[in-house]
Amino acid sequence: MAQLYPFSDLIGAETTPPHRMAKANGIRVTDVDGREFIDAVSALWCCPLGLTNHRLADRAAAQMTSLGYYHSFLGRTHTPVEDLAARLVQKLPAGLNHVLFGTAGSEAVDTAAKIVSYYQNARGKTDKKRIIAREAAYHGSGSMSAALTAMSATHDGFDVPDERVLRTGRPHYLLDALPGEREVAFSKRRAAELDALIRAHGADTIGAFIGEPAIGSGGVYLPPDGYWAEVQNVLARHDILLIADEIITGFGRTGEWFACETYGIEPDMMTMAKQLTGGLFPLSAVAMTDEVRDTVARQAQELEVFGHGVTYGGHPVGAAIAMECLDIYEEMGLPQHVKRLGQIMSTRLEAIRQFPGVLDVRCEGMLAGVEFDTTTPGGADLCRRVSDAAQARGVFFRVISDVLAIAPPYICTDAEIDQIMDVMADSILSVAEAHAPVAQHG
């Protein structure tokens, strides 16, 4: 086959080819057989303004024909990326005053990991380089970003540099709390475990901690009460940088512009991509505080140049699209708009919580998940079958083990959110019915 497909069975694809899409219109995508689907996960959590968008297309075309490419290397730059940087630092959580652009999310995480080393070397802390990541984390499939991801498929056979990575517990209260343990106590325990891990390896060997404010691809885990405050206390005590990976959550997904605001996180660095350009152009960024930027800048001066950057980082077309996205987000009244649609989702999910086979529902803004109970009859494959039933009804959800993820585009109407939730409900009930115990007679 000409193409190798990411996160797929490469040999299997020769006999069972991937589901091929032909075109899209807003939130709907049509396959080559003419079947239409609503993508209720905004594709890869990245297209809040639809899979096509005329305003973004027009802005891209205008940029393509005025300055289709220029770079920010070697003493040059261009207006679109300068304007975007200035606008982003106005929007970002307080303290993040500088941005370094790239193209993909994985690359932003790899860059943030490199900056950890650069920063610690500049401070003379040459052993303070390891990075703590959590179970269930997804940070990408580059080199360090794959090592930070807690998914064996991104490690196996690749020799990713995992000697730099330490792993701590996932913030999944529902499955990991001890009997009778309250949420706040669970958060304190996770923080105590983190503290113990740092002490065991020595704070002088650990440069940073990376976490998604709310875990996305690992199973949509929302942080339990008090979690981020506890974690930040531990990190501050040990002089460890905090990297917030907002590649899914950034730009409104959890009902604030950034999930750091939702959960009271004050990071030293933040990674962003996906919704930065509405998913229609590859652009990513690493934001950082004055302290990180100034230390990096001094080190670069000492070394004579900041030796990092990629050809397409901060591409003018991507920067122009990002500016248009920010205009649209502001016009639609982000974050209130997401809070309002999220409230509809949340109300519908609370009803679904009572459905057979459902273990948990969770929702923050327009990021949600339904977790299925694998111990019920037919439970092992329940999530997959519900997803198949939904697909037959014209809606794509994302299967993450036993969790069905939902992250609809922001441009959904109220009726479309209801339609998505109707399909979710019908699909669960139809699969549950197929597995209901047969009534005994006589």
Ligand X SMILES: Cc1ncc(COP(=O)(O)O)c(C=O)c1O
Q: Which is nearer to ligand X, 215 or 431 (CB)?
A: 215
Alpha carbons within 13 A on the beta-carbon side of 23: 3
**Which residues would be at the binding site for ligand X (CB under 6 A)?**
44, 104-106, 109, 138-140, 212, 216-217, 245, 247-248, 273
Select from 404, 363, 397 the least CA-distant residue to 383.
404
> Which residue is nearest to ligand X, using beta carbons?
105
Q: ∠ at Cα 316 (314, 321), nearest 5°?
A: 95
Q: Which is nearer to ligand X, 272 or 382 (CB)?
A: 272
Nearest distance from C-beta of residue 251 to ligand X, angstroms: 13
Q: How far apart are CA 95 and CA 241, in angstroms?
A: 14
Nearest distance from C-beta of residue 400 to ligand X, angstroms: 11
Q: Which is nearer to ligand X, 177 or 399 (CB)?
A: 399
Nearest distance from C-beta of residue 395 to ligand X, angstroms: 20
C-alpha dist (Å) from residue 376 to 93, 356, 358: 43, 9, 9
Q: What is the DSSP letter of 95?
A: T
Q: Which is nearer to ligand X, 248 or 349 (CB)?
A: 248
Q: What is the DSSP letter of 409?
A: -
DSSP for 271-318 reads EE-GGGGTTSS--EEEEEEHHHHHHHHHHHHHHSS-----TTTT-HHH
C-alpha dist (Å) from residue 176 to 29, 107, 170, 190, 313: 38, 31, 8, 10, 40
Task: Answer whether 216's CB lies under 8 Å from 45's CB.
Answer: yes
- Report the SS3 class of residue 89: helix
Q: Which is nearer to ligand X, 18 or 202 (CB)?
A: 18
Nearest distance from C-beta of residue 84 to ligand X, angstroms: 18
DSSP for 12-56 reads HHHHS----EEEEETTEEEETTS-EEEETTHHHHT-TT-SS-HHH
Nearest distance from C-beta of residue 301 to ligand X, angstroms: 30
Q: Which is nearer to ligand X, 138 or 209 (CB)?
A: 138
Q: Which is nearer to ligand X, 137 or 359 (CB)?
A: 137
Q: Which is nearer to ligand X, 112 or 122 (CB)?
A: 112
Nearest distance from C-beta of residue 272 to ligand X, angstroms: 9
- Residue 403: strand pairing partners: 371, 400
- Report the SS3 class of residue 98: strand
Task: Answer whether 181's CB lies under 8 Å from 174's CB.
Answer: no
Nearest distance from C-beta of residue 427 to ligand X, angstroms: 24
Nearest distance from C-beta of residue 81 to ligand X, angstroms: 19
Task: Answer whether 373's CB lies under 8 Å from 359's CB.
Answer: yes
Q: Which is nearer to ligand X, 147 or 247 (CB)?
A: 247
Nearest distance from C-beta of residue 139 to ligand X, angstroms: 5
